[in-house]
Copies of this chain bind each other. A is one copy, B any other.
Amino acid sequence: MNIHDKPKSLRPESVTQGPMAGSRKIYVHPDGRSDIAVPLREITLNPSANEPPVRVYDASGPYTESEPAIDLSAGLPRIRDPWLARRAGLDFYSGRPVQPEDNGSVSPDRLAPPCPANTSPRKGRDGALVTQYEFARAGVITEEMIYVAARENLGREAVLEGAEAKIADGESFGASIPAFITPEFVRDEIARGRAIIPANINHPELEPMIIGRNFLVKVNANIGNSAVTSSVAEEVEKMVWAIRWGADTVMDLSTGRNIHNIRDWIIRNSPAPIGTVPIYQALEKVNGDPTKLTFELFRDTLIEQAEQGVDYFTIHAGVRLGYIPLTAKRTTGIVSRGGSIMARWCLAHHKESFLYERFDELCDVMRAYDVSFSLGDGLRPGSIADANDRAQFAELETLGELTKIAWDKGCQVMIEGPGHVPMHKIKINMEKQLKECHEAPFYTLGPLTTDIAPGYDHITSGIGAAMIGWFGCAMLCYVTPKEHLGLPDRDDVKTGVITYRIAAHAGDLAKGHPAAQLRDDALSRARFDFRWEDQFNLGLDPDTARQFHDETLPKDAHKTAHFCSMCGPQFCSMKITQDIRDEVAAMEREKGMADKSAEFLDGGGKLYV
């Protein structure tokens, strides 16, 4: 059942708040910058562990504070305002008046109110430093860069030596992950175009985050409005719920009535970057007829959304007229909505795409608000059969061409990728993207590694996502169990986000990210010590872990029992191992273990030789 089909009494009147189980939100201050407060989550361990709390990345915003003071009408604290106020290149201005069609021409009685927290928009001046890319190229370290550097480091200063060892342990396929992230490293990566901080100057509520191959792998969750909306809180809740479970960015793919005003509420209350696909709204403004789209209408929609504070736009500027025939023989044609809309336009007019031809003018809008490009893969494969075909790669080459133009214009850029790709064809996607797109960050949907499991596409795609994250993909767009079948409900969104957090973390581990394994190790020790609560709380979803455990062994006493329901006390290998460990330790004290192994092996000889 979709959440919106629920009786009104079950619909959220407010948003989910309060800390994650066993955790507390903390804020750390980068050296010398007490004015910058970077959120982390600290998981407290049982005193018997004799271990410090484990610090983990936290994308959930103020909603997970112990006593959150949330007022959706007021929006989140505008933490970037002091930073933005000091930038000479930004000016407030009146902004574009909201048009009835911005809200899908909704009738007045159904109009959602605008968010009272709205203020006049800012805009960047020509020739001044406006985007993170421009600052980085000019050698200037912004507050956003300082912020993300601290955020990426978690608590790993404390475990330096171990951390360095971990780097050597991974296989990063040419990534350059340092032991510690410094603001200067962040600046350098952004200047090279290898990372972006999606941070619209009109999204001062943002807690900045970075997307790039040499940083932690990130996860995006998609949300969309519903036909029947009972309250703006319900729409904001979708974003709050997704970031609670670990979404680093949220794409709002809404269409229809009230989307402008609801987007306001979402952005004013989102600590995470918000992405959109503006062509969806543009299409609504021409009543759903792709052939009626114009460059002017599209640009106006970009400005509309940029003034609201959208942090990145998916723009399918690589769908060129000449590539469309390449899709005609495909098993599943064009499956990207934006791609098919633009293809329809190109064919109807027999003209090159206006997004491609006038890309430089789009860049001018993007730069003025520091909206990052997410260059859309409108020709991504929609099936295993179509993976890595000429249409897909032709577009990728064009995206590389557009990347350089965007950089020349001062914009931040990432590149979207597939889609549906069997395992043996994933790596070439990453390699080709790095080469063709000059190392701009890659942002893929999955990929799904098989098409035979509708209802389980979070898993078919989680496999591909983990692999491409390892190979160098910077952000993974989640897929929920409802993919291809219906609209995800709350449970689906949570399952999708957690599956993708697994994929991202597995990728970080395999790349040898210096801080990644600390959490695995802490959880493994908790498991071995039968610290059940610690095991739950160190996991990605403490609530579900606890619930699963309690189904079989609900008693509180079992939370410290030195066995679990799977094997019972007699059969517990961990218990036996504990005995073995004690025994070996005793022998070690007795006579030294250095050659114990060799002695036991009778001189290392093999049987039957």
Contacts and interface: CB of A to CB of B under 8 A. Distances in A.
Given A325-B596, A551-B2, A601-B321, A567 B332 contact: no
Interface of A is mostly: helix
A347 B573 contact: no
A520 to B, nearest CB: 4
Contact of A502 (B288, B463, B521, B593): B463
A117 interface: no
B323 A597 contact: yes
Interface in A308-332: 320-328, 331-332
Contacts of A325: 584, 587, 593, 596-597, 600
Contact of A334 (B171, B549, B576, B601): B576
Interface residues of A, number: 139
B608 A401 contact: yes
B452 A486 contact: no
A242 to B, nearest CB: 17
Contacts of A333: 528, 573-574, 577-578, 580-581
Contacts of A290: 576
Interface in A439-468: 449-456, 458-460, 462-463, 466-467
Interface in A383-425: 383-386, 401, 405, 422-424
A525 interface: yes
A370 to B, nearest CB: 23
Copies in the complex: 2
A467 B255 CA distance: 38
A147 interface: no
Contacts of A194: none
A79 interface: no
Nearest to A469: B423
Nearest to A383: B524
B527 A422 contact: no
A423 B470 contact: yes
Interface of A: 1-2, 5, 169-171, 255, 280, 283, 288, 290, 320-328, 331-337, 339-341, 343-344, 347, 352, 356-357, 359-360, 382-386, 401, 405, 422-424, 449-456, 458-460, 462-463, 466-467, 470, 481-482, 484-487, 489, 498-499, 501-503, 505-507, 509-512, 517, 519-521, 523-525, 527-528, 535-536, 538-541, 544-545, 547-549, 551-553, 564-568, 570-574, 576-581, 583-585, 587-588, 593, 596-602, 604, 606-608
